Amino acid sequence: MASGHRPADVLHAKHYDARLPWYTIYPTVPEFSPAVGAKDCVEWLKGLPTDEAVSLYLHIPFCRSICLYCGFPTRITRRDASIVEYLAVLREEIRLVAEQAPQALPVSDVHFGGGTPTIMPPAEFLALMQLLRRHFVFKKAATVAVEIDPRTFTPEMAEAFEVAEVNRASLGVQSFDLTVQKAINRVQSEAQVTAAVENLRRHKVSRINFDLMYGLPHQTVQSCVQSATTAIAMRPDRFAVFGYAHVPSYRKNQRLIDETALPDAAARAEQAAAVADTLVAAGYRQIGLDHFALPDDELALAQRAGRLRRNSLGYSADTCPTLIGFGASAIGRLGKGYVQNEVAQSSYSRHIAAGHLATSRGYRLTVEDRVRAEIIERLMCNLEADVPAICAAHGFDPIPLLDRAERLTPLAEDGIVDIDNGFVRVRQEHGFVLRSVAAAFDAYLDRSPY
């Protein structure tokens, strides 16, 4: 790649703002309030339509070691006992939630996240899946996806995946550069990742995702491209390419990262563009902000059909309006709004042990929230949104909404977005600043100039 920054890289650096939300949901979690609690969650669960499929998310907040870049609430443990104790509480929560639904709900999508879900004993994983199948009706083509750390993934767990009919796995790769790996306390070899992929495919887990990152300490354009090239050789179905967000005031583990080794905004933009170019050249289609998928992958097919969605897990082909979250800090979407469980495991466990749901806060959606959420989702998924049409579908006046979207002006002036009679379109080459475009329709974001 030629030296120097391309015009798009310069604009990315100018408009990229690491503080902006990722807009997996709207309104975002900081707007959640204790005014929505367990009673609301019970009411919303009881009101779920019985003929409409739901998605399930199970949060397993344990890891064997801390990755310094991580922004999620996890607990480091070397003991299986604490994991098994947590899983006992989780199983009780599943029973409590299932009791609230009018009948066994159909399920089309299950996702195990964390943390590292696969550090639980394989027998515990199988027991958990059996419990879910007892309390919910799995559709024949249901997706069962699990997040994996290749360093701790065992052949025994791969065998359990096959028994449990897991059909999608997401592997945290991040970078193959040893210098970068040491700087983020995540040293894993190409051989470990290859072995995990081979194990999965041997046990009929045919759909595989890789996570890559840019903006990490000591990363360069060259190392980013090399990591992407190494990963492409294993031919996963899709990639998620995330920019590292350095927020040491929020995450103590990030304070151990050498800030002087972090690339600046211009370098981050160049890394992002270089990885995107590498993946697209290898036959992957860019999906929204940060995903890339082979043309026959579900995400690519959903994008072409206009069915691509964005939920608390990121981009998805899952069109279920309802997501039920299980585990400490898990977020659910239940028609009338969002609910979130207690973040602290001790508080979460106390509520469940007392026979109560662990909902600690949430958000009740208004009509305006739904309008803005749909606009933001269409922008994040399709890079375009017909604002007047979306507003009309909800009986909402688009004029005040568009007039207050001050953040669109500098983006339009720099050619990042085109606006025609309220139809907003983001140019494909500027996809990495999608969050800045979405932020123009966020009513709760600080509107001060940036």
Residue 251, token pair as written in the block: 């995450």
Task: Kindly state the percentage of the chain with pLDDT values over 90.
Answer: 81
pTM to 2 decimal places: 0.93
Q: CA 96, 101, 105, 108 torsion: positive or negative?
A: negative
pLDDT grade for 74, boundaries at 50, 70 and 90: confident
Distance CA(72)–CA(60), nearest Å, equals 11
Residue 248 amino acid letter: P
- Tell me the per-residue pLDDT of 7-33, one tens digit each, with 9 for 90 and over: 666 776 677 776 789 999 999 999 999
Q: What pLDDT is recorded for position 314?
A: 87
Query: What domains appear along the chain, each with residue ranges and CATH number?
Result: 1-23+366-450 (1.10.10.920), 28-324 (3.80.30.20)
The rounded mean pLDDT for the chain is: 93
pLDDT grade for 447, boundaries at 50, 70 and 90: very low
Q: What pLDDT is recorded for position 8?
A: 63
- Tell me the per-residue pLDDT of 329-377, one tens digit each, with 9 for 90 and over: 999 999 899 999 999 999 999 999 999 999 999 999 999 999 999 999 9
Residue 437, token pair as written in the block: 């475009």
Tokens 């007892």 correspond to: 134
**Mean pLDDT, residues 284-290:** 93
Q: What pLDDT is recorded for position 403?
A: 87
DSSP strand pairing (322-326 vs 54-60):
parallel
The pLDDT of residue 449 is above 70: no
CA distances in angstroms from 366 to 40, 42, 70, listed in the order given: 15, 19, 33
The pLDDT of residue 263 is above 60: yes
Q: What pLDDT is recorded for position 48?
A: 95
**Mean pLDDT, residues 286-303:** 94
**Mean pLDDT, residues 248-253:** 85
**Mean pLDDT, residues 64-72:** 91
- Tell me the per-residue pLDDT of 412-435, one tens digit each, with 9 for 90 and over: 999 999 999 999 999 888 877 899
Q: What pLDDT is recorded for position 71?
A: 84
Q: What pLDDT is recorded for position 77?
A: 92
**Mean pLDDT, residues 391-411:** 92
**Mean pLDDT, residues 310-326:** 91
Q: What pLDDT is recorded for position 6?
A: 53
